[in-house]
Amino acid sequence: MNRFRANSRALPPLLAALAMLGPFSIDTFFPAFQTMEAQFNVAPATMQLTLSVYLVAYALMALLHGPLSDALGRRGVIVYALLVFAAASVGCALANSFQVLLLFRVLQGISAGAGVIVGRAIIRDRFDGADAQRLMSQVTLIFGVAPAIAPIVGGWLLTLFGWRSIFWALGGFTAILALAALAGLPETHPRARRSPLSLRSLLRTYGQIARDRRFMMLALATCLNFSALFTYIASAPVVVLNLLKLNEREFAWLFVPAIGGMMIGSFLSGRFAGRFSSTRTVQIAYWVMGGGTLLNLVVCSTLPPGLPQTVVPISLIGLGVALAFPTLTLLMLDRFPLVRGAAASVQMAITLSFTAVVSAVISPRVSHSALVLALTAGVLSLSGFIMWRRYLQTAPVTSD
């Protein structure tokens, strides 16, 4: 049921554009890694810090975006975060040392998460049940375009104008998005429903969420599912340039199948809303992830890295991840209906903390081999499934 008046057609693309900042901040400059390594005279492992520090800052600030929106309103938090991100992108473009670049990457990480985190709370503020799942699926579907086109855009900008142009483009896109948010983003959290912002109440809220076993199982399931796919995203420079022997303008061969699978999964999630129960939808998603994982292991065990065999299984994994994501997210938010912003923040913080570990620790150690990558993704998917099964054992879900 829709509880607020607003332009329902305009909201999904606007929320999806807000969520695009994350993947654009990560994927757009992947093609420039080798160029930037030479520019700053750093090793590939050191260059990986540009991703790791961003993700750590993203994860830590994620704990505040939601509570800030619970206390101050959704719209203002998003707009101010966009302005900070735009300024940070300009700082990255002007960086004259690797240390300065890392500093502004931290600032990007601090501000990038507001759109996606607060956007999830906006969806749950406005809609219930199947309507909420449909809107969440629409946002995920549109959002899926970003990781697919980001490395393509980055590759062409790198070729035509150099690596700094990538960050100038990010700053311009964010400035436009801030104007769009000012003009068209509704305030869905009225003053009467806002909670006071204090350290004591914040710690108490986070303590309640952290002690909720069902919430944590859902959060870990979502995190581990996405990490199975993110292992490939974080390893993209090695997979595309070294394993597949492609060039800087051909990252689409990895990203389009992966994100295409996610977009199909998001579409199916919207179609399943109101037709299948939450449990059934997530079970189907894990069947798809399991099939993709098995195919991935078989292909990598029997064939050398190449097209299309290396990327087809990844698309199936992405499909399963996206099919499960809206349902798992709504189940988590419904655990704490009075502080949905805080719940969304905890979910994002867990996911980003783990993906930071994937990018800084796991990816550099497994990306040298297609088979080792497949095994790693399989372990992560299986761990997510185990968390889901444990959740069902404590809280069977039978409602639509």
How would you write 29-79 as a 3-class SS string?
A: CHHHHHHHHHHHCCCHHHHCHHHHHHHHHHHHHHHHHHHHHHHHCHHHHHH
pTM for the predicted model, two decimal places:
0.68
| Distance of alpha carbon 358 from alpha carbon 59, whole angstroms | 13
Q: What angle do CA 185, 51, 142 make, to 5 degrees?
A: 35
Q: Which 8-state DSSP code applies to residue 192? A: G
| Mean pLDDT, all residues of the chain | 82
Which residue has tokens 């896109």? 173
In this predicted structure, the answer to whether residue 400 has a pLDDT above a threshold of 60 is no
Q: Yes or no: say if 323 and 137 are a contact pair by the CB < 8 Å rule.
A: no
The region of weakest confidence among 170-174, 204-208, 282-286 is: 204-208
Provide the residue type at 383 as one letter: S
Gap between the Cα atoms of 59 and 349, Å rounded: 4
**Strand, helix or coil for residue 144:** coil
* Per-residue pLDDT tens digits for 215-257: 999 999 998 998 888 888 878 878 888 888 887 677 778 878 8
How far, CA to CA in Å, does 397 sit from each of 158, 190, 378?
Answer: 48, 31, 25
pLDDT of 2 > 50? The answer is no
State the Cα–Cα distance between residues 196 and 198, nearest whole angstrom.
6
Task: Give the range with max mean pLDDT: 194-203, 297-306, 360-369.
Answer: 297-306
Please state which of the ranges 1-5, 106-110, 299-303, 363-367 shows the lowest mean pLDDT: 1-5
Question: Are the CB atoms for 385 and 222 separated by under 8 Å?
Answer: no
- In angstroms, the Cα distances linking 231 to 153, 168, 211 are 21, 27, 29
Q: Is residue 10 scored above 60 in pLDDT? A: yes
Q: Could you tell me how far CA 239 lies from the centroid of its own chain?
A: 20
Sign of CA dihedral 214, 217, 223, 228: negative
Q: Is the pLDDT of residue 8 over 60?
A: no
Residue 187 burial (CB count, 10 A):
14
More confident residue, 221 or 119: 221
Q: Where are the domains of the chain?
A: 11-394
Instruction: Dihedral sign for Cα 84, 172, 135, 354, please.
Output: negative
Rounded (5°) CA angle 62-270-124 = 40
pLDDT at residue 31 in the model = 80
* Rounded Cα distance, 311 and 305, in Å: 9
Predicted confidence band at 117 (pLDDT cuts at 50, 70, 90)?
Answer: confident
**Cβ distance 279 to 398 under 8 Å?**
yes
Confidence at 148, pLDDT banded by 50, 70, 90: low
Q: In this model, does residue 360 exceed pLDDT 80?
A: no
C-beta of residue 133 within 8 angstroms of C-beta of residue 270: yes
**% the chain with pLDDT above 90:** 24
Cβ atoms 280, 324 nearer than 8 A: no
Q: Locate 366 and state its tokens.
A: 């497994």
- In this model, does residue 399 exceed pLDDT 60? no
Architecture of the domain spanning 11-394: Up-down Bundle (1.20)
Residue in 147, 168, 146, 148 with CA at minimum distance from that of residue 157: 168
More confident residue, 227 or 191: 227
Spatial separation of the C-alpha atoms in residues 171 and 112, rounded to whole Å: 12
128-142: pLDDT as tens digits: 666 776 777 767 666
- Whether the CB-CB separation of 346 and 67 falls below 8 Å is answered with no
What six digits make up the tokens of 95?
């960086």
pLDDT on residue 194: 66
Q: How many CB atoms neighbour CB 5 within 10 A?
A: 8
Most confident of 8-22, 32-46, 145-159, 355-369: 32-46
Residue 244: count of CB within 10 angstroms of its CB: 19
CA distance 29 to 36: 9
- Is the backbone peptide bond immediately before 147 cis, with ω within 30 degrees of 0? no
Least confident segment among 58-62, 187-191, 357-361, 394-398: 394-398
pLDDT of residue 398: 46
Cβ distance 151 to 251 under 8 Å?
yes
Q: What pLDDT shows up at residue 192?
A: 65
The terminus-to-terminus CA distance of the chain in angstroms comes to 14
The enclosing H or E element of 283 equals helix 278-302
The residue that leads in pLDDT, 116 or 218, is 218
